[in-house]
């Protein structure tokens, strides 16, 4: 319930009419924002495009480096909006740095915003980069499998809100 209150009071206004804007957006990021009922501002579209183009999760500083003209506050608000809407997810690292990514469960146009984040991450212990581990062909099956196994392991009465799994080791570049 707290999450729903945060969505309603955040800086990420949800549109009341999803088809208010043209169905053909100028870029995939804008289309994704509109499909999820989020007002498509320039900052949100730019930040989302950086995340969509990345093969790994990015820290705030990495996104800021990709968008040097954007001020810090605007960038934080855009990232918060994307995570509140379920379009991107925030990964907390043991180094206390948050990284942001659009996993396959949230990057398809028309996906359900706010779906439970349920996929694994790989963190390289040498370069500290974080990669999302998804089954891009059938992300919904992976979620259903994890949810079924988790519920069986927890037993009746437990209700998960978020699943975090991080595998640590060396990425392909660092291991070479």
Residue 125 and residue 56 in one domain: no
pLDDT higher than threshold 70 for residue 165: yes
Mean pLDDT (whole number) for 155-160: 82
Residue 63 and residue 124 in one domain: no
Mean pLDDT (whole number) for 43-61: 93
pLDDT in tens, 93-146: 778 889 998 874 433 333 333 344 566 778 888 988 888 776 555 555 656 676
79's tokens? 């990232």
Residue 122 and residue 96 in one domain: no
Domain that includes residue 132, residue range: 116-176
| Matching residue, tokens 């320039």 | 42
Residue 41 and residue 95 in one domain: yes
The CATH code of the domain that includes 130 is: 3.30.1490.190
The total number of structural domains that make up the chain:
2
Give the chain's mean pLDDT. 75
């Amino acid at each position: 319930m707290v999450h729903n209150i945060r969505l309603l009071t955040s800086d990420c206004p949800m549109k009341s009419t999803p088809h208010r804007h043209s169905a053909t957006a100028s870029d995939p990021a804008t289309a994704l924002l509109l499909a999820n009922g989020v007002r498509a501002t320039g900052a949100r579209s730019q930040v989302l495009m950086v995340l969509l183009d990345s093969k790994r999760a990015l820290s705030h500083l990495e996104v800021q480096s990709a968008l040097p003209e954007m001020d810090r506050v605007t960038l934080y608000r855009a990232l918060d909006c994307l995570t509140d809407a379920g379009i991107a997810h925030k990964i907390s690292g043991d180094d206390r740095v948050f990284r942001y990514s659009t996993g396959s469960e949230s990057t398809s146009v028309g996906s359900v915003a706010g779906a439970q984040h349920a996929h694994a991450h790989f963190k390289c212990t040498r370069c500290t980069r974080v990669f999302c581990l998804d089954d891009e062909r059938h992300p919904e099956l992976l979620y259903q499998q994890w949810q079924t196994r988790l519920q069986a392991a927890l037993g009746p009465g437990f209700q998960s809100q978020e699943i975090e799994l991080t595998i640590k080791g060396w990425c392909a570049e660092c291991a070479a």
